[in-house]
Amino acid sequence: MISKSWSRKSIATAVAIAVLSVYSMVVLAAPGAKASGELSVSGQVTVNGQKVISGGTVFTDSTINTAAQSSASVNISKVGRVDLAPNSNLHLSFGDNSIIAMLEIGSAQVSTVAGTTVNLTTKDGTVVVDGSQATTFTVSSLRGRTTVSTQTGLAQFKTGGATKQVAAGESASAGVPNPQGDDDHGLSGGALAVLLLAIGGAVAGVLYAAFHNNDLNFGGSVTVVSPTK
C-alpha cells in the first residue's frame, strides 16, 4: 500500500515537472518575449537612466548613454554587435534579424552578420544595411554633421532625398558643420574676466580724471576731456 502511494506521488511529481518545463519553453518562445543582448562597459554608462556594469543584459528598445572616457558594447547573438564611443547617446532596438537605432549624438560602430538588416537614423540622415552580406560601419553625429564610414560590406546613406552607396573603405557626410561646441559659444570665463577688468579700469580712469581736472587719452582717436576745459 505504501509502495503504491509513493509510486503515485512520484508519477504526479514527474508529470508536474514535465508540464512546468513545457510551459516555460512556451513562455520563452512567446512572440511577446523581449529580445536581449549582452552588455560590456568601460567607465560610466547608463541604460534607460540607470548605471550599469559589464555582464548585464540589455533589452530591445533601450537608450544607452556613455560619459566622457567611457564606452559600451552590446553583443546580440546571431545578429551583430553595437559599440558606442565616449559621449554618445543611442536608442537601440533589435530583433532576430534586424537592428534599428537612433544616434542622438556621438559615435557608434555597428557590425552585423549576413541576413541582418540595419536602419540607423541621425538628425542628418539614415544608414541602411540590406542584410545581403556581413557589414561593419561607423557613424558619427558631431558638431552638426553626420559621417558614415564602411569598414566591410556595403551600407547606404540616405539624406535629403538622395542615396549614396558607401562601400568598404569609403565614407559619406551630410549636415552643416558647426566647429563650435556648446562650450565654445561666447567668451570663456577667463576672457570675460579680463574684459570686465579692462572695462572697470577704464571707467575708474574716467571718473578719476573727471574729479581731478585731468585729460585722459586712450591712445586712439578717442580723447576724454575733463569738464573744466
At residue 48, the pLDDT reads 97
Does the pLDDT at position 26 exceed 60?
Answer: no
The pLDDT value given to residue 218: 40
φ, ψ for residue 184 (rounded to 5)?
-100, -5
Q: What is the pLDDT of residue 204?
A: 43
pLDDT of residue 3: 52
pLDDT tens figures, 7-19:
555 555 544 444 3
- Express each pLDDT in 146-182 by its tens digit: 999 999 999 999 998 899 999 999 999 998 887 765 4
* pLDDT exceeds 70 at position 144: yes
Residue 178 has what pLDDT?
79
Q: With 0-12 CB in 10 A as exposed, 13-18 as middle and 19+ as buried, what is 163? A: middle
Looking at the predicted structure, is the pLDDT value of residue 74 above 70?
A: yes
Q: Quote the pLDDT of residue 45.
A: 98
> pLDDT (tens digit, 9 = 90+) per residue, 176-208?
887 765 444 343 444 433 334 444 444 444 444
Task: Kindly state the percentage of the chain with pLDDT values over 90.
Answer: 60
Give the pLDDT of residue 226.
Answer: 40
The closest alpha carbon to 95, from 18, 168, 32, 137, belongs to: 32
Per DSSP, what are the bridge partners of residue 154? Answer: 167
Cα–Cα distance between 115 and 127 in angstroms, integer?
A: 16
Question: 100-143, pLDDT tens digit by residue?
Answer: 999 999 999 999 999 999 999 999 999 999 999 999 999 999 99
**Mean pLDDT (the chain, rounded):** 77
For 173, the 3-state DSSP assignment is strand
Q: Tell me: pLDDT of 32 over 70.
A: no
pLDDT of amino acid 11: 52
pLDDT at 7 (0 to 100): 54
Number of neighbouring beta carbons within 10 Å of residue 47: 20
Strand pairing class (98-112; 117-121): parallel
Retrieve residue 183's grid coordinates.
Answer: 562650450
At residue 34 the predicted structure's pLDDT band, cuts being 50, 70 and 90, is confident
Say what percent of the chain tops pLDDT 70: 64
